Chain A
């Protein structure tokens, strides 16, 4: 079963990279969301897949039954999901605010911090004109 998930992770990573290379910031964020799914599946897959019971210990017992799933990757994924959710939200709000300020979601046109040399010259000209 692990190889199928491995291939699926590859598909998700391909989609992630392709989307994140887009100049539209919204599509970049779509890529970010797919990246977190790919990462979680990587963790799940490398912990070993078993079609098993949840990692719980029955009342009265002190040891779990032998056929439970691996709890370690699950703990990692649980935190990863919440972290990537907050990253996703942050990116989305950033896009929203950027659009309000610059009226664009085209990252090629977001040049406030690192203006292109042509853009910088134009800016300097505008400032001189003011």
Chain B
């Protein structure tokens, strides 16, 4: 079985990147900072700048170097798994996101990459999505880390506000520490929440062991070597800005120490290889956090021992832990199990894996010669520094001793002792499986023998990037003290003792575990169940599935919030100026109000429709009364159309005779809500109209209508020129409504045509009879035949004069629709389609196309923005794209209204 080509290509990418980053080592270790600038959202101060300094280069090399071996391993390990392409894509995407995270200069960009790693982690943990445990673990990791990341984003925003920039470079070059800033505590707490959740610090550690549900290459790469170290990276990055204070040092040291010691002991009690490795990873992250909280360096030129120790331990851990995870994967692949109690005797069958496991475990246990030994010596040395907290060396001891025991277990248990009966062959696998562990473990030993290269080239420059000054390189910073070496010997002695009495230790641990009645994982479950219960409760309360209940909630909320706002803001309505009102004003108002009351009280459908018409016409007269003839005209024609449509549709609905009228208390309750809304709206409007409207907008349109818009009807110029984009949106909505009505009126698919329910059939028959009797008269037919062409000519007249005089595309289109509707009522919808000579939907679509095209004329000719009016003379006439736009409006209105009317009419 060979791998598809993209799997090999996916290995090539990190290799190439690794080599590229290696070429930067000389420059960066000399103190240079390489920058790639890429504008992203410059107006927001957010750019995609990538910066390679000592710290980011160290991480970039880990990500690409380990990534190459992981992808090589995955190519072999994942054979036989479904959806390899998807897996490879996720893994490579993660790698690029992680690189972006460590290289980004801008905090917002860093956050985006941070969340990209969270999402790829989610997808990879849940890769075996048919497994419920994997799904739960994936969601848990996502929720815990992204909740922390949201807090972190808030912290970034506050930090960015405090600094006046989101660029880390500018922040570091600027004022330096923010310790004196009034929001310092808030920034630290929020940022630490992000870092601690991502790097699995106690009490947020629980998601990481659960993340072991992912395939082994993912666990090795994301959940051990790289992604979980993002929090450590962030803490190191922000140390110069936020570090050095009591709050920072105590929080980091205490949280890191608790995490390290707790998880080291838990790992002793586990027997699943991956669980053991997961808890030792949490321990390593705790140690890194603990030492990033070390006090700053004593003097100029002196490296910060704590930061250097944290970084050295981080590199050592990345090397041995990736190797051990891959060993675990190889063993599982060969034997079918990763339970330590069922493994044994593999030394002869898997000699290469055995060698890699031993070499990696040596580094993990901190036995010389290995980089792990160097790292742990540095931890002890830094822990004994005069200004370090007194408990730090003890915390290191109680974390390192169990880990050394675990290292012995990992190197001995699977390989010595009797060989059980495995279901699988239990032999050495493909070279791609053991290549990674061997190389990574060998590097760990090599760097232990020759620490000068990693320290001078990688770790000291990284430490310099954190603390801000290159230390003087006169003495070797990896040398430890005798005190530290003595404690290392004590650690190993304790570890050997614990290994010897392992069964007793495990029993004691299990006993301790039983004393604690709760777990963080359990707390997570309780929180999730709580959220679900609240959601279910409020859904039950608010969503009854009955329309009027929803509306009651909406209107009651509207009325209450308006009333409360008016009351709280102490809004006093302006004094009523009723003196100007004429008799006409009073009577029109009275007619509308009276007709509204009739609609409410009427128990007859017909009376309701008539009263509705009265309201519409009287409102149109009010518009006319106040100098809005265009609006009045449109309103009147719409009233006619509504009457036409209502007459057709409403007759097919049952009348109110069988209606269940609400009981008196319900009516009273509805009335109270209605009056609250009505009175509140009146009061708001009185407050609004108390002061005269701002004249700026109005004056702008009045001044510019002729010179800018070439039109004398200001309303029309606003619609088709100044605010044409709004009108564009509006006719689009109109077209969508037309499409929706058309879809509603399509022949039904669920029931056969004609298979109406008996009640509906009777109503339909009655309506048919009624229409048939009144429409078929001679006078009507002859009048219509002559009237329709006249109305159509008039509609075009309204359209064309609209820019200069009363009229326009809307009212013209409505008038034309009236003509066709009249024809359809007298001669039937088919005849109307005949004289229209096109499908109304096509007319509407053509109108939309014309309107859009008119907007592009200027863009194409002169490069001006979309819908900028263009004017010129054609055969002595002044023509412009706004007129063309209005033609589009006209056609859309005709198309949509006729889709309504003909569609409804054809239902008969």
Contact = CB atoms under 8 A, between A and B. Distances in A.
B543 interface: yes
B389 interface: no
Contact of A56 (B622, B726, B806): B806
Given A15-B600, A18-B674, A99-B654, A54 B627 contact: yes
Given A6-B682, A79-B726, A103-B759, A22 B662 contact: yes
B251 interface: no
Given A1-B581, A8-B592, A17-B670, 10 more contacts: A12-B615, A15-B600, A33-B612, A59-B804, A74-B631, A75-B719, A93-B745, A100-B756, A115-B545, A116-B544
Contact of B712 (A2, A4, A49, A57): A57
A85 B642 contact: yes
Interface in B570-602: 573-574, 576-578, 580-581, 585-586, 589, 592-593, 596-597, 599-600
A15 B546 CA distance: 21
Given A4-B586, A5-B589, A78 B596 contact: no
Contact of B627 (A17, A55, A79, A89): A55
B862 interface: no
Contacts of B804: 59
B728 to A, nearest CB: 11
A26 B605 contact: yes
B596 A11 contact: yes
A9 B562 CA distance: 15
A94 B626 contact: no
A17 to B, nearest CB: 4
A128 interface: no
B592 A12 contact: yes
A34 to B, nearest CB: 6
A90 B682 contact: no
Contacts of B693: 46-48, 70
A64 B543 CA distance: 54
A129 interface: no
B638 A13 contact: no
A28 B552 CA distance: 13
Contact of B615 (A21, A37, A52, A63): A37
A54 to B, nearest CB: 5
B600 A21 contact: no
A2 B733 CA distance: 31
B507 interface: no
B126 interface: no
B677 A17 contact: yes
A72 to B, nearest CB: 5
A101 B759 CA distance: 11
B788 interface: no
Given A2-B689, A23-B660, A71 B715 contact: yes
B757 interface: yes
Interface residues of B, number: 118
A37 B738 CA distance: 22
Interface residues of A, number: 95
A11 B678 contact: yes
A95 B650 CA distance: 9
B831 interface: no
Contacts, number: 313
Contacts of B681: 9-10, 13, 38, 42
Interface of B: 543-548, 551-552, 555, 559, 573-574, 576-578, 580-581, 585-586, 589, 592-593, 596-597, 599-600, 605, 608, 612, 615-616, 619, 622-623, 625-631, 634-635, 638, 641-642, 645-646, 649-650, 652-654, 656, 659-660, 662, 670-671, 673-675, 677-679, 681-682, 685-686, 688-689, 692-693, 697-698, 701-703, 705-707, 712-715, 718-719, 723, 726-727, 730, 733-734, 737-738, 740-741, 744-745, 748, 750-751, 756-757, 759-760, 804-806, 808, 810, 814, 893, 896, 900, 903-904, 907
A112 B326 CA distance: 55
Interface of A: 1-24, 26-28, 30, 33-34, 37-38, 40-42, 44-59, 61-64, 68-75, 77-79, 81-83, 85-90, 92-97, 99-101, 103, 105-108, 110-111, 113-116
The 4 A-B residue pairs whose C-beta atoms are closest, nearest first, are A114-B545, A69-B627, A14-B678, A10-B682
Nearest to A11: B593
A74 B810 CA distance: 13
B660 A62 contact: no
B685 A92 contact: no
Of the candidates B652, B707, B756, B760, the one having the most CB atoms from chain A within 10 angstroms of its own CB is B760
A105 B698 contact: no
A18 to B, nearest CB: 4
11 contacts: A2-B689, A8-B589, A30-B608, A33-B615, A46-B689, A57-B706, A74-B628, A79-B719, A86-B733, A99-B760, A114-B543
B630 A78 contact: yes
B523 to A, nearest CB: 32
Contacts of A51: 625-627
A99 B678 contact: no
A33 B600 CA distance: 13
A16 B727 CA distance: 27
B577 A1 contact: yes
Of the candidates A17, A41, A54, the one having the most CB atoms from chain B within 10 angstroms of its own CB is A17
Contacts of B685: 2, 5-6, 9-10, 42, 45-46
Contacts of B718: 71-72, 75
Contact of A8 (B593, B634, B677, B744): B593
Contacts of B573: 3
Contacts of A33: 612, 615-616, 642
